[in-house]
Amino acid sequence: MLALLYFSFDFPTKMTWNLFYQFYACFCANCVGIIYGITIGWASPSIPLLQSENSPLLSGPITEEDGSWINSIMCIGGLVGTLFFGWMGDYFGRKWSLYLVALPSMASYLLIAIALDVHYLYVARFLAGFGGGGVFVLVPLFVTEIAEDSIRGTLGACLILIVNFGVLVGLAICGYLDFFVAPLIPISILLVFLILFQFLPETPQYLLMRRRKIDAEASFRFYRGYRKSTEEMAEKYVKEFTALQKIYDISSVNSDDQKLSMKDFTPKSTKLALLISFTLVILACFCGTFTLINYAADIFNDAGSSFSPNIAAIIVGAIQVFGSCGSYVLVDRAGRRILLMGSALGTGIFHSIMAVYVYLSSIGYNLEGYEWIPVVALSAVMLISAIGVVALPYPIIAELMPTKLRGLIVSIAAAISWIISFTLVKYFSYCIQLIGLHACIGFFAACCFFEVLFVAIVLPETKGKNYEEIVNLLSK
């Protein structure tokens, strides 16, 4: 993965230590993202198995209602985890809060490995979601606060690539390994995370916010490749750290300034940042990728595809990973606006194609020879949405919001995302029965087309800009 990150940006002829530690820290932090991705991918092959006569549970096959709750209860855990880890990240720091995310995630897979009935799986999925809530709050904060401006977008988009890679791993191992053996893979990854991540320092921005200037400078030097305190930093890094200190104005900060108040939300730039942040997160949910990946096997089966449902789902997962790779290559070159608009437009078009196919199939139209269309269309949706619509909302939130509000707003945005995701996953099957799969996918397409207009009108370009420059753009 480090090699992929390296080639996704216009680096010098060789990787410098100034960049290496930022990439290394990003890799370590995103190990928990792999686990969340595996958790998402787990559902598509596992739930049909649990509902079959070959169910591995001693209690026997689960019902369709049980399967619906197994899918959706993760979102309830995610909502609780978002609020808990958002609070924890602000009071105990980004590093150790993120470190503790591994504990509920590990507990969830241990429960799956010893599951006797569906209640074990309910608790396991709740804990998995609880840890996932921490991932989406803390990883963007941690990465944004250690990265320099020139590679902030690339490192920020890393989370979605890693999550999508985890989805692919989850689809593969849960589809082809024994139900009780598959959990050993994510448990092993979590052990690697617990070993590597403990040696990284807290983010310099959080330390500055807590008025720990000496520790903040040491952390900043570490993430810029200056391990020895006697080494003189390059002039651009001296200016960068000086600018950070100016933002936090350490010498004049008092305890009252550290408390949130309504005046923190009154600047025009903050209001616009809030509008953009919440809108992008809501539209990312309604682009449909999270919902469709949970029901990928069923969708291909209902659409009449000749592909094996699990094989089709793995194909979709692999293509989604390639889409996330595209986000790396382009995010700090093309910019955020172009990626979001192009991604939303392409996702909407292929949603529309799939909706038409499913509708024609549902009314009995002869589609023999065209069974590949739902696979290609859904694969394109996953590919193109991963480039921008899904990959960029949280990195953009972290760029737009002031540090004092960043943790709170990311937490609220993630909480909104979990609530919407729960509703979609829990009731998606009922919506299919009520209005048809084609209408559901058509709704996702309409949301994508709306996002094109919203980004074109409202979102400023933040590529390569520091926070002061971004505030000026939002204030115009």
The CATH number for 68's domain is 1.20.1250.20
Res 395 pLDDT > 90: no
Q: Does one domain contain both 57 and 118?
A: yes
Give the phi and the psi of residue 460 in degrees, each rounded to 5: -80, 160
Residue-level pLDDT at 10: 44
pTM over 0.85: no
DSSP characters for 260-279? Answer: --GGGG-SHHHHHHHHHHHH
What is the pLDDT at residue 249? 63
User: Does residue 17 surpass a pLDDT of 70?
Assistant: no
Residues 242 and 277 placed together within one structural domain of the fold: no
Mean pLDDT of all residues in 14-30 = 81
Q: Which residue in the block uniquely carries the two structure tokens 């096997």?
A: 297
Residue 237 and residue 317 in one domain: no
Distance CA 86, CA 100 (A): 12
Q: How many domains does the chain have?
A: 3
Split at pLDDT 50, 70, 90, the class of 151 is confident
Together in a domain, 157 and 237 = no
pLDDT on residue 466: 73
What share of the chain has pLDDT > 90, as a percent?
32
Q: Determine the average pLDDT of the residues in 113-130.
A: 94
Domain that holds residue 235: 209-248
pLDDT score of 34 more than 90:
yes
Instruction: Please check whether residues 189 and 280 belong to one and the same domain.
Output: no
Using pLDDT thresholds of 50, 70 and 90, give the confidence band for residue 267: confident
Residue 454 lies in a domain: yes
Regarding whether 450 and 324 lie in a shared domain, the answer is yes
pLDDT at 394 over 60: yes
Taking alpha carbons only, the member of 354, 359, 356 closest to residue 381 is 354
Which position has the higher pLDDT, 138 or 243?
Answer: 138
Flag whether 424 is in a domain.
yes
The answer on 186 and 123 residing in a single domain is: yes
Query: ∠21-166-297 over CA atoms, to 5°?
Result: 165
- Nearest CA to 90 among 390, 395, 401, 391? 401
Answer whether residue 106 is part of any domain. yes
What does the DSSP 8-state code read for residue 428?
H
In a domain, 12, yes or no: no
371/240 same-domain check:
no
Q: Please tell me whether residues 385 and 421 are part of one structural domain.
A: yes
Residue 366: the pLDDT is 83
* Residue 128, CA distances (Å) to 232, 238, 285, 293 in order: 44, 41, 19, 17
> Does 211 have pLDDT greater than 50?
yes
| 3-state secondary structure string across the chain | CHHHHHHCCCCCCCCCHHHHHHHHHHHHHCHHHHHHHHHHHHHHHHHHHHHCCCCCCCCCCCCHHHHHHHHHHHHHHHHHHHHHHHHHHHHHCHHHHHHHCHHHHHHHHHHHHCCCCHHHHHHHHHHHHHHHHHHHHHHHHHHHHHCCHHHHHHHHCHHHHHHHHHHHHHHHHHHHCCCCCCCHHHHHHHHHHHHHHCCCCCCHHHHHHCCCHHHHHHHHHHHCCCCCCCCCCCHHHHHHHHHHHHHHCHHHCCCCCCCCCHHHHCCHHHHHHHHHHHHHHHHHHHCCHHHHHHCHHHHHHHCCCCCCHHHHHHHHHHHHHHHHHHHHHHHCCCCHHHHHHHHHHHHHHHHHHHHHHHHHHHCCCCCCCCCHHHHHHHHHHHHHHHHCCCCCHHHHHHHHCCHHHHHHHHHHHHHHHHHHHHHHHHHHHHHHHHHCHHHHHHHHHHHHHHHHHHHHHHCCCCCCCCHHHHHHHHHC
pLDDT tops 70 at residue 170: yes
For the chain, the first-to-last Cα distance in angstroms comes to 39
Does residue 126 sit in the same domain as residue 239?
Answer: no
Residue 119 carries which DSSP code? H
Higher pLDDT, 384 or 374: 384
Asked if residue 129 lies in contact with residue 75, where contact means CB atoms within 8 angstroms, the answer is yes
Q: pLDDT, tens digit, for every residue of 404-446?
A: 788 788 888 888 988 898 888 778 878 888 998 889 999 999 9
Q: For the segment 309-333, what is each residue's pLDDT rounded down to a tens digit?
A: 677 778 777 887 887 777 667 766 7
Examine residue 1 and state whether it is found in any structural domain, yes or no: no
Most confident region among 154-158, 214-218, 232-236, 326-330 by mean pLDDT:
214-218
Question: For position 239, what pLDDT does the model report?
Answer: 82
Has residue 83 got a pLDDT over 60? Answer: yes
Cα 396 to Cα 413: distance, rounded to the nearest angstrom:
12
102: which DSSP letter?
A: H
pLDDT over 70 (residue 12): no
> Residues near 126 by Cβ (< 8 Å), separated by ≥ 6?
73, 74, 76, 77, 108
Average pLDDT score, the chain: 84
Calpha distance 219→244 (Å, rounded): 13
Residue 66 covered by a domain: yes
Q: Per mean pLDDT, which range of 7-21, 293-307, 454-468 is the poorest? A: 7-21
Distance between CA 399 and CA 331 in Å, rounded?
A: 13
77 and 176 inside one domain: yes
* Residue 127 shares a structural domain with residue 66: yes
pLDDT band at 8 (very low <50, low <70, confident <90, very high): very low
Q: Are 423 and 346 in contact (CB under 8 A)?
A: no
| pLDDT at 452 (0 to 100) | 96
Indicate whether 411 belongs to any domain. Answer: yes
pLDDT score, position 250 = 46
Rounded Cα gap, residues 277 and 467, in angstroms: 15
pLDDT at 7 over 60: no
* pLDDT above 60 (res 255): no
Q: Decide if 57 is inside a domain.
A: yes
pLDDT of residue 152: 78
- Specify the higher pLDDT residue, 446 or 268: 446
